[in-house]
């Protein structure tokens, strides 16, 4: 039997032998790939490695070739003329963004009546008519007539049952809290003790700076009366710069947030969720007696959003403060640009699905490109897989 196996192996086609070798390589390669993935996960959890990787990525923009230094003085002189033209372009670009800001202010006034009506519906100040509540579903979402009738009848029975069990809810309960919980950028800020407070949030508005004033915008968080604080409105103002820096004009890439200011929250006694009380035991070195000390320390909370780090006059911040401000600026911009204009879509989750679809498409394109590269390699007569 062993002789037969040896004979078969000897008579096996060389191409088949290659297939066997490839299968063996794949099997051993699977273990290696698994180990590689585990090693990658461990590396990505190391802050020092991540920092080094980020530094390397930041350097991928390119480096000077040295050609500029080799140019004659007369050519360098002309290049300087081009750079002066570029500075003028930056100042024109700044004017462009100023006019964009004016347009934003103009159209904000047109959007506001619609946002006010949205707020009235959410807080039950206005009950929409049957006509306003009609919504034509997309073709993909449409069901057959019989199925629609069946579902309507079922929904009607369920609604009647709910009406018997409890009173009809007013407005749209927990509208903004649901929006926050549906968005990762905001849900990461939420703590369990924040949720009862955010149930009282009725509206978020964006206010732009007046004409002729330095460019800025303010986020207004409107709350109904509650047991946690006496404020009806909490504000966060972001000040922006929209002109090139004289010392570094080529870094200008549109308006950038320079600093932000929050507001004082008038907490009801014992309701401040941004602070917590801890008890620590201290032992006397000489007598050996133990005493309990009560301390008040900062507590994680969404409402820390309204007390950002202060930027000193010299503009220098430590790394932690810089990271907090960078995240703060991103959140403020996201609320202004995405959350306020499209709140209902984040409430239903449709806006999040759209974002996910965008990422999937990019992934599919990348896969297709990889597939094309592999096909090209296979069709290349000079391609050697061992190299």
Q: Give the whole-angstrom CA distance, residue 177 versus residue 116.
A: 18
- CA neighbor of 229 nearest in space, from 262, 270, 180: 270
- Interval 330-366: pLDDT, tens: 999 999 999 999 999 999 999 886 665 555 444 444 4
Other C-beta atoms closer than 10 Å to the C-beta of 175 total: 21
Q: Give the whole-angstrom CA distance, residue 282 versus residue 293.
A: 7
- Interval 107-149: pLDDT, tens: 999 999 999 999 999 999 999 999 999 988 765 555 545 566 6
Tokens found for residue 104: 């934003």
Q: Percent of the chain at pLDDT above 90?
A: 38
- Interval 259-289: pLDDT, tens: 899 999 999 999 999 999 888 887 777 777 8
Its pTM stands at 0.66
- Report how far Cα 255 is from the mean position of its chain's Cα atoms: 19
Other C-beta atoms closer than 10 Å to the C-beta of 177 total: 19
- Interval 37-80: pLDDT, tens: 666 555 555 656 656 666 665 555 556 667 888 888 899 899 99
- The pLDDT of 181-208, averaged and rounded, is 95
Alpha-carbon radius of gyration of the chain: 31
pLDDT at 22: 45
């Amino acid at each position: 039997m062993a002789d037969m196996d040896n004979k078969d192996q000897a008579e096996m086609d060389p191409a088949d032998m290659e297939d066997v070798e490839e299968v063996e390589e794949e099997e051993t390669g699977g273990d290696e790939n698994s180990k590689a993935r585990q090693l990658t996960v461990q590396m990505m959890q190391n802050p020092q490695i991540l920092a080094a990787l980020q530094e390397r990525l930041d350097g991928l923009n390119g480096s000077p070739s040295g050609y500029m230094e080799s140019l004659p003085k007369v050519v360098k002189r002309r290049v300087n003329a081009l750079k002066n033209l570029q500075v003028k372009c930056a100042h024109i670009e700044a004017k462009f963004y100023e006019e964009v800001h004016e347009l934003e202010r103009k159209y904000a006034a047109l959007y506001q009546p619609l946002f006010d009506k949205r707020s009235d519906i959410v807080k039950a100040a206005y009950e929409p008519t049957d006509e306003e509540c009609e919504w034509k579903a997309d073709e993909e979402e449409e069901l057959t007539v019989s199925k629609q009738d069946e579902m309507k009848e079922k929904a009607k029975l369920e609604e009647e049952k709910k009406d018997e069990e409890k009173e009809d809810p007013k407005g749209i309960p927990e509208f903004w809290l649901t929006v926050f919980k549906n968005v990762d950028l905001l849900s990461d800020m939420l703590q369990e003790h924040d949720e009862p407070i955010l149930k009282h949030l009725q509206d978020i508005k964006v206010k732009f700076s007046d004409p002729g004033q330095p460019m800025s915008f303010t986020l207004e968080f409107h709350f109904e009366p509650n047991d946690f604080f006496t404020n009806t409105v909490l504000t966060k103002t972001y000040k922006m710069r929209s002109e090139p820096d004289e010392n570094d004009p080529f870094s200008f890439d549109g308006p950038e947030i320079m600093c932000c200011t929050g507001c004082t929250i008038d907490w009801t006694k014992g309701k401040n969720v941004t602070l917590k009380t801890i008890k620590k035991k201290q032992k006397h070195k000489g007598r050996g007696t133990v005493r309990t000390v009560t301390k008040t320390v900062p507590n994680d909370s969404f409402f820390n959003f309204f007390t950002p780090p202060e930027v000193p006059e010299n503009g220098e911040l430590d790394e932690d403060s810089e990271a907090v401000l960078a995240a703060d600026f991103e959140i403020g911009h996201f609320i202004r640009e995405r959350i306020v204009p499209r709140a209902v879509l984040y409430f239903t989750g449709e806006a999040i699905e759209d974002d996910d679809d965008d990422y999937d498409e990019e992934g599919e394109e990348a896969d297709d490109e990889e597939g094309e590269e592999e096909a090209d390699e296979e069709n290349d007569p000079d391609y050697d897989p061992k190299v």
